[in-house]
Structure 1
Amino acid sequence: MKIVVLSSLAYSLTNFRGDLLRAMKANGHEVVAVAPDHDEKVQRELAESGIEFRTVAMSRAGMNPFADLWLMIGYFILFLR
């Protein structure tokens, strides 16, 4: 099964969800981690565990409904891949 984990900060993928991501990978799942900021250290740590890292454009403090709609479209496209 393909599992996509979304986060608003890249470092939280390894600091807070790292054990969960590795456990899902160890159970045979294809795991994709997604965050708006590209962090080389996070990408390297995830790659070492066999977890794919992708970025998506997101404004963490935005209140624009059109930007949120664009984000949802981006997530939809990501899920189709």
Structure 2
Amino acid sequence: HLFTFEYQARYGDVGSEHEMCSVLIGHSDQEPDPNPTEIAAWRYIGIEALSEEIEAHPALYSPWLKLEWARLMADHRKDIDAL
């Protein structure tokens, strides 16, 4: 467990979120099996490529991912690189 953070975000007239998010890192040889009602899509992407995509196309990414990614890059990059 690296850290926990709280965030709130509105989605126009659709609704809002107010959540506590725990951030964990690790390594696995298993294929992810996300809940399709929670996750629309996923893919593997490199660290630098994700940073560039978030910068170039921020609307494509959830508010919590942008908050989490900024903190991961600022405070925990060495932990990620050590995996």
Band of TM-score, shorter chain: under 0.3
Q: Report the TM-score, using the length of structure 2 for normalisation.
A: 0.22
- Of structures 1 and 2, the larger Rg is shown by 2
Compute the TM-score of the two structures, normalised by the length of structure 1. 0.22
Structure with the larger RCO, 1 or 2 (CA within 8 Å, 6+ apart): 1
